[in-house]
Amino acid sequence: MTSKDIISLLPYADPFLFVDGLSIISGEGATGYYTFKEAEYFFKGHFKSHPITPGVILTECMAQIGVVCLGIYLLKDDITENFKPQIALTSSYVDFYLPVFPGETVTVISEKEVFRFNKLKCNVKLFNEKGELVCRGTISGMLKSKNHD
């Protein structure tokens, strides 16, 4: 399964897709990246004179790359032509240290803590272009394959 295959199975679309690519994916974790374009809808109001990426969007980016992409990879043996992943965020705890500005590319590194009974729990970190830690935490979700006819 390639990175493009995984991204094509994500249940998100623009303007709420926060995965540009995956550089590493294995049974133990995932590393991916996303560039926050200057025209992103949320920069217009957060904040008016000094736009930064909202923490909830950074959390979503980490969840999409670090939990959902990894979860799809872990479910790869269940994937058929009509595969549709069912995904639900169950918990998140994130500490924030630095802002992310319009035009910045971030890298997310996820390490699987546990995947049992369709629940995936990961330790995630998000770094800016300078390699500085922007935020880190733990995100969990329920993942299940559902085949549609």
Residue type, 116: R
50 catalytic per annotation: no
Spatial separation of the C-alpha atoms in residues 1 and 46, rounded to whole Å: 37
Q: What are phi and psi of 67, to 5 degrees?
A: -115, -50
110 neighbors 62 (Cβ within 8 angstroms)? yes
Encoded tokens for 92: 């998140």
Catalytic residue among 3, 42, 46, 98: 46
Nearest 5°: the CA angle 9, 96, 138 is 50
Active site residues: 46
